[in-house]
Amino acid sequence: MLNKPNELTDASLDSFLADAKLPVLVDLWAPWCVPCRTMSPIIDKLAKNSASKLLVAKIDVEKYPAVMARFGVRGIPTLLLFKGEAQPERQVGALSQGQLNAWLAGHQVDVSAQPTVAHTEALAWASFYGDEGLHDFIAQRAIGHAAAGDISVGLGSFWIDGKGSTSASMVHQADSQIFERITGLPIAVGRLLDICGYLTAEQMAALFAALRAGKDYRLVPLRFMHWWLSEGSAPWASYLRDPQLVQLLARWQALCADRLAGRETAPSAWEEVGEQAALLLQGYQRPDRQLEQLFATLLQLLSPVPVTSEGDKWSHIAINIHWAQFQHLEILSGWSDEDRATPGKRMGWFNEKERQSPEGKLSQDEIAALRAEWAAENAEFLAKENAFHQSIPQLFLPVKVRMQQELNRLLAEAPEF
> Using the 8-state DSSP alphabet, how is residue 145 labeled?
H
- Please state the φ and ψ torsions of residue 337, each to the nearest 5 degrees: -60, -40
**Domain spans, the chain:** 6-107, 128-210
Q: Please tell me the predicted confidence (pLDDT) of residue 122.
A: 53
Cα 7 to chain center, whole Å?
18
Tell me: the pLDDT tens digits for 72-112? 887 888 999 998 767 899 988 777 777 788 889 888 888 86
Three-state secondary-structure class, residue 82:
strand
H/E run at residue 195? helix 187-196
Give the mean pLDDT of the chain. 88
Three-state secondary-structure class, residue 202:
helix
pLDDT of the chain along its 417 residues, tens only? 456 899 999 899 989 998 888 999 999 998 877 778 778 888 888 888 888 889 999 999 988 988 988 888 878 889 999 987 678 999 887 777 777 888 898 888 888 654 333 333 455 689 999 999 999 999 999 999 999 999 988 777 889 999 999 999 999 988 888 999 899 999 999 999 999 989 999 999 999 999 999 999 999 999 999 999 987 778 999 999 999 999 999 999 999 999 999 899 999 999 999 999 999 998 888 878 889 999 999 999 999 999 998 888 999 999 999 989 989 999 989 888 888 888 888 888 888 888 888 877 788 888 889 989 999 999 999 999 899 888 888 888 888 999 999 999 999 999 998
Cα separation of 328 and 399, whole Å?
A: 10
Q: Please tell me the predicted confidence (pLDDT) of residue 98.
A: 74
> Using the 8-state DSSP alphabet, how is residue 28 labeled?
E
Give the torsion sign (CA, 54, 57, 61, 67): negative
Tell me: the pLDDT tens digits for 205-256? 999 999 999 999 999 999 999 999 987 778 999 999 999 999 999 999 999 9
Cα separation of 208 and 386, whole Å?
A: 37
Beta bridge partners of residue 227, listed in sequence order = none
Nearest to 57 by CA among 114, 92, 15: 15
Q: Please tell me the predicted confidence (pLDDT) of residue 248.
A: 97
Beta-carbon neighbour count of residue 395 at 10 Å?
Answer: 16
Q: Domain 6-107: give its CATH architecture.
A: 3-Layer(aba) Sandwich (3.40)
Cα separation of 64 and 368, whole Å?
A: 10
Cα separation of 311 and 49, whole Å?
A: 15
Known catalytic residues?
A: 33, 36
274-295 as b/e, with b when 16 or more CB fall inside 10 Å? bebbeebbeebeebebbbbbbb
Three-state secondary-structure class, residue 223:
helix
Q: Please tell me the predicted confidence (pLDDT) of residue 118.
A: 37
Preceding peptide of 23 cis, ω within 30°: no
Q: What is the helix, strand, coil percentage profile of the chain, to 5?
A: 60, 5, 35
In this structure, what is the dihedral angle of CA atoms 164, 168, 173, 178, given to the nearest 10 degrees? -160
Q: Is the Cβ–Cβ distance between 56 and 97 less than 8 Å?
A: no
Cα separation of 20 and 177, whole Å?
A: 31
How many helices (H) and strands (E) in the chain? 18, 7
Q: Please tell me the predicted confidence (pLDDT) of residue 111.
A: 81
What separation in angstroms does the CA of 258 have from each of 69, 261, 325, 338?
A: 50, 5, 26, 38
- Please state the φ and ψ torsions of residue 188, each to the nearest 5 degrees: -60, -35
